[in-house]
A and B are shown apart, each in its own frame.
Chain A
């Protein structure tokens, strides 16, 4: 007996083929209502857990209730991720390339330019409609922070906030090394001097300055770029990329002094999980000085929600501004420098419900939502009204927003930047592996020249 009659078989196959494209196109269609999805590189119990919990426990129920009150049947889903940033970027790019993906998407601000050039994201007003321009929140976001979501003069994303980089130091180790427990180095030499004093304590790595390619962008943001700013240069300025300039050689020379001088752990820079290990070692009191963003304070060593919690963080850990190579030698003649970045949220231009997606996105950036997202943690949000509220409560946040943000710099949002950054990371790796600053700078220059279309686009 035949299992299927032929027409039945053909009909079944046809139906299967026809329904295939409906799979995997982001959200399932809500029954009689609208379904919206949010995606981010955060996951409960793992990476950026607080953000995932806020979306699931605060944003979704409240937004659904608010929509219901207005007579709309809306379901919101969250697609979590807990992978490294480059993998997340690839995944989102592939989603958008195939015109699928979530309606509201978390992106690093540095990716906005290349995503816009590729046609993966469109200006907010084009997707979300007239409601975008009249949104109340724009007045609350400082221009510099709005810049995180701007490309070619158009607003592509809503900034989630910004951050700053500082030097963290372990006060107990400083006391043991005979160093002051309130420390603010005024030059690179003073960092090296503190490192030399810390070296006398057995089992302690004096300085952790991210280096090498395994750390990826963390090497640029926490290491090479703030140092470059401290040497008076930027990676991209006036239409030219930094070549083998004196500033680049100064930066690589400083790396060499740390890693060839036994003040840092070269092996840690090469490990696949080196950055995570550096967090654990600092929390264990095995690293004296560590350059990191404020992310380290609120998401890594936070006593309650950190991945490497320090119960006595507030007493033991101090933070200082990153000094220029010499007083007054930093960019714009500054004594101290920093680098900032920040995440944005964009609308998926291929969303089936772009207007409602904007409602969801703007809801996530309302004062009330942003305050809830903080949940008592220290973070410079994008909204001045919220910052004014929470500033007073947290000295670290106050320090970042009052002392660090006024002296900070941002990366260029250009598609070739990640490759230039990779070349800079390789240069630091060369120095850690024992090459001279001169050799590493020459190799770096040759790579960048190939990337940016000739030496006419380099500043040596």
Chain B
């Protein structure tokens, strides 16, 4: 190939890549850099700091890390992700897929249909259903249990939104694991069973090695979605008195409702760092797996 042709090829390649680069630059890189910059200012939505924001260095980060409310949020977010994404959605999703793996016909279709329904309904609609279910006066749950006046949302705010998010997102995990389990030859499980392996041993030694990639992908996705999910705000609004204020709510109430845009940007950047840790850990695990199997 002549150099001219090579140059033309390169120019063409650049031409093909350029639109994507521009889009990523405009919609991803610029906002990210802008957020980092804003996080270093005392920028506010109203007042003098809206007209003339000043650079304050790491002040916002120092304030956030020293804020009991932020630490409380971080703690609750860990509970929320562990409870509803990992144990809830991924765990329950796998359990359902495992139970349904040999079933065909109407029972399976019914279960899948019901679980999927919870996933395809809009979050705001589901949130209002849960309020109607858990409400203190006139809630369905109190009517069923005969416990008038029991305040589930106020006494167990975290549990309420963990159950809500589990209920909402289990379908995705279940479908993913149902597909993954198709990769496990039944004869292998049969052999293991005849050799006297317990269900746990079968899962650990036969099933898990074959679906590890699915598990990692699933846990990462559900964790990230849950970590950044704002929907439960409709149920508890972070209350009572901050007892269910997970990080997205904290950012919302300080940055938007409180008008502290600079501070909100700093906290958002902290959240981005936490998300990056998740993603990097995932990539690392995936690479290890490839090296082992490759």
Residues of A that sit less than 8 Å from B by CB: 86-87, 90, 93-94, 97, 111, 113-115, 117-120, 212-214, 267, 270-272, 415-416, 418-419, 422, 426, 429, 433
**Chain B hits for A87, CB < 8 A:** 257
Q: Are B151 and A97 in contact (CB under 8 A)?
A: no
From residue B100, how far is it (CB to closest CB) to chain A in Å?
Answer: 37
Q: Is the CB of A111 within 8 A of B154?
A: no
| B229-247 contact mask (Cβ, 8 Å, vs A): 1 or 0 | 0000001110111100000
Q: In the bound complex, do residue A90 and residue B240 qualify as a contact, i.e. CB atoms below 8 Å apart?
A: no
Looking at chain A's contact residues, is the secondary structure mostly helix, strand, loop, or mixed?
helix
**CB-CB < 8 A to B235: which residues of A?**
272
Which residues of A have CB within 8 Å of B241?
A: 212-214, 270, 426, 429, 433
Query: Given the complex, which residues of B lie within 8 Å of A120, measured CB to CB?
Result: 46, 50
A270 to B242: give the CA distance in the assembly, Å. Answer: 10
For the complex, give the distance between the alpha carbons of A87 and B256 in Å: 8
Q: Using an 8 Å CB-CB cutoff, how does the interface string of B209-241 with A read, 1 for contact, 0 for none?
A: 000000000000000000000000001110111
Main secondary structure of the interface of B (DSSP, over half): loop
What 6 pairs across the A-B complex have the smallest Cβ distances?
A: A415-B47, A270-B240, A118-B50, A114-B46, A272-B237, A114-B47
A117 and B236 within 8 A (CB): no
Q: Let me know if A90 and B45 touch, CB within 8 A.
A: yes
User: Shortest CB–CB separation between residue A104 and chain B, in angstroms?
Assistant: 19
The number of A-B residue pairs with CB atoms under 8 Å apart is 73
CB-nearest residue of chain A to B50:
A118
Contact A213/B239 with A93-B45, A97-B45, A117-B46 known, Cβ cut-off 8 Å: yes
The yes or no answer to B48 lying at the interface (CB within 8 A) is yes
Interface of chain B residues 1 through 59 with chain A (CB within 8 A): 44-51
Asked if B258 is at the interface (CB within 8 A of a chain A CB), the reply is yes
Closest chain-B Cβ to A440's Cβ sits at a distance in Å of 12
Once the chains are docked, how many angstroms separate the CA of A218 from the CA of B31?
36
Q: Tell me the minimal C-beta distance from A198 to chain B in angstroms.
A: 19
Q: Please state if B48 and A214 are interface contacts (CB–CB under 8 Å).
A: no
CB distance from B52 to the nearest CB of A (A): 9
Count of B residues near A, CB < 8 Å? 23
Instruction: Give CA–CA (A36, B258) in the complex, Å.
Output: 30
Does B136 count as interface, using CB distance less than 8 angstroms? yes
- Using A93-B259, A270-B239 as known contacts, say yes or no to A415 and B136 having CB atoms under 8 A apart: no
Residue numbers in A under 8 Å from B45 (CB-CB): 90, 93-94, 97, 118
Report which of B50, B237, B239 forms a contact with A117, defined as CB distance below 8 A.
B50
Q: How far is the CB of B196 from chain A (nearest CB, A)?
A: 55
From residue A417, how far is it (CB to closest CB) to chain B in Å? 10
CA distance A161 to B237 in the complex (A): 32
Q: Mark B153-196, 1 if CB is under 8 A from A, else 0.
A: 11000000000000000000000000000000000000000000
Across-interface contacts of A118 in B (CB, < 8 A): 44-48, 50-51
21 contacts between A and B (CB under 8 A): A86-B257, A90-B256, A93-B46, A93-B259, A111-B46, A113-B47, A114-B46, A117-B47, A117-B51, A118-B45, A214-B241, A267-B151, A267-B154, A270-B154, A270-B240, A271-B136, A272-B236, A272-B239, A416-B47, A418-B259, A419-B258
In-complex Cβ contact of A90 among B151, B242, B259 (8 A): B259
User: Contacts A90-B257, A93-B259, A213-B239; is A115 near B46 (CB within 8 Å)?
Assistant: yes
